Chains A and B, each alone.
Chain A
Amino acid sequence: MDPLDIARWQFGITTVYHFLMVPLTIGLGVLVASLQTAWHVTGREHYLRMTKFWGKLFLINFIMGVATGIVQEFQFGMAWSEYSRFVGDVFGAPLAMEALLAFFVESTFLGLWIFGWKRLPKAVHLACIWCASLATVFSAYFILVANSWMQHPVGTELVDGRGVMTDAWAVFTNNTALVTFPHTIFGAFAVAGAFLLGIAWFHLYKRRAAGIDTVDATGRVVVGEDTSRGRNRDKTDYRVWITSLRLGAVVALISFLGVAFSGHAQAQLMFEQQPMKMAAAEAACHDGTGFSVLSIGNLSADGATTCEDIVAVYEIPGLLSFLANDDFTTEIKGVNTLLPEYQEKYGTHLPDDPMYGERAGQEINYLPLMEVTYWGFRMMITFGGLAAFAAAVALWIVRKGTVPQRRWLSRLAVFGILAPFGANSAGWIFTEMGRQPFVVAPNPTFDGVDQVFMFTASAVSPGVSAGEMLFSLVALTSVYAVLLVVEVVLLWRYVGGGVGSAMPELNDTDDGAGQDDDVLAFAY
C-alpha cells in the first residue's frame, strides 16, 4: 500500500471528524455567553436555566474538539514532514499564534467559567465565558488563515525550494481567508441554531405528549406544569424551550443568509484562484455559462479527455456566469480548456526527483475527483438550504407558542440537527479535494506570488512506512468511532434529563437543600 494514500485518508478522516465538534463549539459557545448575558442583565430565571443546560451540552462537546484538535497539529510533522519543511516558514506562524493567542485563553477561561460559579464576582464570571467563546472564534480565524494560504499562497517567495514569508500582512489579510472566515463562522452558527431548534422542539413535543401544555380552541398554547418531580417541568421550563427554539431558528436563518452571501463571494474568488476546482464542481467539460443542476455520465474520469461523456441533464443558463462574475454572459472555462493550461504552466509529469519516491516522473492528473467535487458542492448547498427551510417552517409553526402534537415532526426536528453538520463536512471535503493534485495550490493570477505550490505527492513524510501510517489510521479511526458513540450517548442522556441534568437542584421536591458556599460549582 502507498503511504501517501493512507496519509491522505487519515488526514481527511481526522479533519472531518474534528470539524464535527468545532462548529458546535464555536456557535454554542457564543450563544451560551449571550444567554448568560441576558440573565445577567434581566435577572430572569429562564435565561439562567438556558445558560446551564446549553452550557452543559457545550462542555460535553467542547472536550472532544480539544482532544481531536491536538491530532491535527501533530500530524503535519508526523505524516507530512516534507510539507512541513516546505511551508513551515509561513504556515507554522498562524498555527503557533492560534495556540498562544487563542487556545490558551479558551482553555484557561473555560476552566474559570466551569469552576467559577459563585466563586467569582458575577460580572467577572460572565466575562470568562465571553473570553473563552470569543477565543474559539479567534482560533478559527488563525486556522483559516493557514488553510487559505494553502488554497491561495500570498505574501511568500520561493527561496531555495521552500516557501518563505515576505509579507505577514498579506498572509493575514489573504482575500481567501477574509471570505472563508465569515463563511465558516456562519456555518458554525447554523449548526448551533439547528441544535437548539431540534432539542427544544423535542422537549416541547414531550410536554405536549405528556399533556402538560395544551392548546385552546383559538390555537393558543395554555402552559401547564408538572412539579411532581421538582421544578424541572414548570412554567419557567416551558419558557426555556420556546425561547431556545425561537432563538435557534432565528440564528439558523440569519446564518444561512450569511453563509449564502459569503459563499457567493468565496465562489467568485475560487473561479479566479482555482478554476479547475470550480470546473470540476460543475462537471463542466466545455466552456459555457450554464449551471448544471444535474449531470450524468462518468464523473470518475481520470484521463485528460474522458469528461466528454458527461451530459448535463438540466442546466440553468447564465447562472454559472452569475456565480463567477455577477453577469450572465461571460464564458467560464471548462475542464477541456483548463487542462492544457495547467499542463503548460506546471508540467505534464512529476519531476524526476527522489523526493517523489515511486511517483517520480509519473503523469500528473490535474482533474480532481469529479464525483467528490460535484456532489460535495451540491450536498453542501442542499443540506444548508434544507436547514434554513426547516428553520423558517419551524418559526411559522410555533408562532402561537408551542409545537404540534405530532411525533414525526419532532423526529424530523431532531434529525434536522444533522443537516448543517452535513453541509459543513461536504463543504470542507469539496474545498480540500478540489485542490488536488496540489497540497498548496498554485496561484494562477500571480499577484506577487509565483511558483509557490506543492504537489500532494511530494508532501508526505519520506521516512515513515506504510505500516506505521496504517497503524495510526486504524488506531485513530477506531478510537474516534468509539468516542463518537460515547459523545452522542452522553449528549442524549443530558438532553433527556432536561434542564435538571445541568441543575440537579431542580429535581429536588423539597426546597430545603442548603447551599454550601464553598462547594465546587461544576465539580468533575
Chain B
Amino acid sequence: MEFLPTLWFISIAVLWAGYLFLEGFDLGVGMLLGPFARSEKQRRLLINTVGPVWDGNEVWLITAAGATFAAFPHWYASLFAAMYVPLVVVLLALIFRAVAFEYRGKAETALTRRLWTLALSAGSLVIAFGVGTLLAVTTTGLPLNANGDRVGGPFAWLSWQAVLGGLAVVGFCLAQALAFLALKTDGDVRARSARLLARWAPVLLAPLAGWAVVVVAGNVRPAAVIVLAIGVAAALASWRSAARRAEGRAFLFLGLFLLASVAAIFTSAYPAVLPSTLDAAFDLTVSNASSTPYTLQLMSIVAAFGLPLVLGYQAWTYWVFRRRITEAHIPEAHAVTRIV
C-alpha cells in the first residue's frame, strides 16, 4: 500500500462525499422547485433557503474534479474523456442552473420566469443524475483499452449500474432536500416536506443503498461491510426520525447514511480508481494513475491547510443563516423601473 496515493484516494472520496452531502440538498431543493412549490412565493422561499450557500457548495464539485486532475491525472483523463456526452449534458445543466439562480428573480414576464424555473429544476435533476452516473461507472468500470481510452462508442458507458448510480444520487438529493426544508422553513412547506419524507424515504434511499451493496458485494471486505451496515442503519434511523418529526435527527442520519455509503463504495473499490471492463490488466489503480510523490506531497500540504479553512468558513455561513425562513420573510418582488 502506497501511502500518498492512498491518502489522495481517501481525500477525493471525502471531496465527493462533501459535495453530495452539501449540494445534495440544494440540488434537491432545485428539483422540488417546479413540482413541489404551490405558489410563486413558495418557489422564492425554496430558492432562498439555499440562496446564500449553493454556490459555495458547488465548488466542492470543482475541487473534486481539480484534485483528481492533480493527484490522479490518468483517472481524470480516462474518466472525463470516456464520459464525454453525459458530461456535456451535465455542463449545460450546470450553466443553466447557476444562471437561473441569479436571473430568475430578474425575469420580467411570466414566461421567462417559468423558463428559468424549468432551468433550475431540470438542471438540478440532470446534474444529480449525471454525477451519480459518473461516480457509478468509476466504481463499476468502463471499457478502457491499454492507453485508458474508451472503446465502443459514445454510449459505451451506459449500463444498469450507471443508471442505478444516477437514480441513487437523485433519490438521495430529494430526501436530503425534504429533510433540509423541514429544518429550514416553517408553515406549509415545513409540514409538507416532513410528511413527504416520512412517506417516501425508503423509495428515495433504496437506490443508493443498492449501489453500495452492488459494489461491496463485488469485492467483499470486512471494513466495507461494517460501514455499509452502519449506513443502512442510518437510513432506517432517518426514516424513523422523519416519521416522528425529529427534523434535525432525520437530516443528520441522512448525512451519516451518505457518508457511510460513499465510504463503503470507495473502500470496496480500492485500489482501483477506474476499472476496465475489458481486461483487469488495464485497470487504473491508485498506483498507476497517480501523480508523483512530489506533487502529492505538495498537494497534501495545501489541502491540510486549505480544507479545514474551507470547512470553517462554510460552517460559519450556515451559522449566520441558521434561522428558519418563511413566506413572510420573502420581500415583494421589485420590477426594475426604467428611469431613462
Where the two chains meet, the residues of A that have a C-beta atom closer than 8 Å to any C-beta of B are: 59-60, 62-64, 66-71, 73-74, 76-79, 81-82, 84-85, 87-93, 95-101, 103-105, 107-112, 114-116, 119-120, 159, 164-166, 168, 202-203, 206, 210, 229, 232-233, 355, 461-465, 467-468, 471-472, 475-476, 479, 483, 486, 490, 493-494, 496-498, 500-501, 504, 507, 516, 518-520, 523-524
Contact = CB atoms under 8 A, between A and B. Distances in A.
Contacts of A111: 51-56, 317
Nearest to B74: A85
B13 interface: no
B17 interface: no
B77 A468 contact: no
B66 A73 contact: yes
A59 B336 CA distance: 16
B302 A496 contact: no
A524 B59 contact: no
Contact of A104 (B51, B298, B310): B310
A520 B66 contact: no
B84 A165 contact: no
B51 A490 contact: no
Contact of B329 (A70, A97, A107, A518): A518
Given A67-B94, A95-B66, A97-B302, 12 more contacts: A76-B69, A92-B295, A99-B63, A108-B310, A463-B145, A464-B84, A468-B85, A475-B88, A476-B92, A486-B103, A493-B336, A500-B336
Nearest to B332: A504
19 contacts: A60-B102, A63-B98, A74-B65, A77-B76, A77-B77, A84-B76, A88-B291, A100-B302, A111-B52, A120-B320, A164-B294, A165-B292, A166-B294, A461-B81, A468-B85, A479-B96, A494-B336, A504-B334, A524-B51
B226 interface: no
Contacts of B314: 104, 108
Q: Which 8 A/B pairs are nearest by Cβ-Cβ distance?
A: A88-B73, A77-B80, A92-B70, A463-B149, A92-B69, A96-B66, A81-B77, A108-B56
Nearest to B333: A523
B26 to A, nearest CB: 11
A59 B102 contact: yes
A168 B292 CA distance: 12
Interface string B88-112: 1001101110110111111010000
A73 B62 contact: yes
B266 to A, nearest CB: 19
A497 B71 contact: no
Given A70-B91, A73-B66, A165-B295, A501 B59 contact: no
B47 to A, nearest CB: 5
Interface of B: 44, 47-48, 51-56, 58-59, 61-63, 65-67, 69-74, 76-85, 87-88, 91-92, 94-96, 98-99, 101-106, 108, 145, 147-151, 153-154, 291-292, 294-295, 298-299, 302-303, 306-307, 310, 313-314, 317, 320-321, 323, 325, 329-331, 334, 336-340
Nearest to B83: A78
B81 A464 contact: yes
* B contact face: mostly helix, strand, loop, or mixed: helix
Contacts of A108: 53, 55-56, 59, 310, 313-314, 317
B320 A119 contact: yes
A506 B151 CA distance: 62
A501 B140 CA distance: 52
Q: From B88, B151, B314, name the one whose CB has the most chain A CB atoms within 10 angstroms.
A: B88
A109 B313 CA distance: 9
A233 B340 CA distance: 10
A89 B88 contact: no
B331 A519 contact: yes
A516 B328 CA distance: 10
A99 B99 contact: no
B330 A520 contact: yes
Contacts of B151: 463
B307 A100 contact: yes
B337 A81 contact: no
